Amino acid sequence: MRQNLYMDLHVIQTLPPSCVNRDDTGSPKTAVYGGTMRARVSSQSWKRAMRMRFKESFTEDMIGYRTRKVGELVAERICADAGDIPYAEAEKMADTVLALAGVKSGSDKKDALFFISSLQATRLAELAVGYEEDKTAKTKKDKVYKPLLEKALNDDPSVDMLLFGRMAASNPSLNYDAAAQVAHSISTHTISNEYDYFTAVDDYEPGENTGAGHIGTVEYNSSTLYRYATVNIRELAEKLKADELKLAVRGFAEAFIRSMPTGRKNTFANNTLPDMIYAVFREDQPVNLAGAFEEPVITKSGGYVRESQKKLAEYAQEVYKRFAAAPDRAWLVGEDPSGLAENVSLPELLEKIQEEVGRYCTRYCSD
């Protein structure tokens, strides 16, 4: 039986004036925590940014598509594999096999998004062609192909599908439990949203016509965030081979650290990197350290980063002393105010993460 192993990532990161994640009114998302208003970036927003970053870490066959247009995706694969089939006919073929598998094809705008890997889409295309060419009576043909289609949609999952999960309400047998969890990021301190009043000048207006061509406001805030994510490595090991597992965990860590949600990025250019990264491996359970900031950081120096780092380190040591064992392995990138862990650079951290997963693989993974 495989031993439990979790990788926890704790990040302190400062965002300058920005609006990376908006609510339905266009305001930066917030949350009340510890009785005060905090900046918030939703987990959904940051996971989307991570998935876009995955394209730099993984090959195409290791990442998937989350789309409502799964029928179009399969139809394109049908045309690519069998060039003599017109696209309109390929769409019908794709819709037929997807319906048989219990997946909405996306022909209706109300259809839910479906997560599918590149390899699954290719396999569905092959089965769609086989289904069309099979001259057996429809009832008998459906009985044969339905389990084959469901198997195709369960085999060869993409790395991001395993990490973030898949829910198929129309056919729960296609569900994947997420091996990773990403918390909503919250500011370590109290914030107040602010407004930028802006004007845009009409370049083609005659010089004697004064005034703006457009006037508006943009709401924003700035904050020092606490970010947290965890990966269940044992669960990933159930589906991935050793080399894939090492790459998946390292890729997840790098994407979590380096990614940034894209909300109003052209307006604010808020492309920051973390001020502090605390990465740990544990065999007992994941431990979120957001409690360090239940009492908001108040600083007399005018900045929040150093005090946030200090509070995180102190709280972690208190948790390890009273409630949970210290991590089995830990590293820290950035300033370490209390000797919490071995201090390394980001490239060194990513190497150590891969090495730690490699050690786990020598005991529990397939080749």
Dihedrals phi, psi of 215, to nearest 5 degrees = -130, 140
Residue 160 pLDDT class (50, 70, 90 cuts): very high
The H-or-E segment that residue 45 falls in is helix 43-54
Q: Which has more pLDDT, 215 or 90?
A: 90
Say whether pTM exceeds 0.85.
yes
Going by C-alpha positions, the residue among 302, 288, 324 that lies closest to residue 11 is 288
- pLDDT of 24 reads 93
Amino acid at position 10, single letter: H
Q: Is the pLDDT of residue 367 over 70?
A: no
Q: Is the pLDDT of residue 207 over 80?
A: no
Mean pLDDT of 91-120: 88
- pLDDT of 109 reads 66
- pLDDT of 30 reads 97
Portion of the chain with pLDDT greater than 90, in percent: 83
Which distant-in-sequence residues (6+ apart) come within 8 Å of 210 by Cβ?
none
Contact 360, 233 (CB under 8 A): yes
Q: Is the pLDDT of residue 188 over 70?
A: yes
Residue 346 pLDDT class (50, 70, 90 cuts): very high
Mind giving me the DSSP string for 304-319?
A: SHHHHHHHHHHHHHHH
Mean pLDDT of 90-97: 94
- pLDDT of 357 reads 97
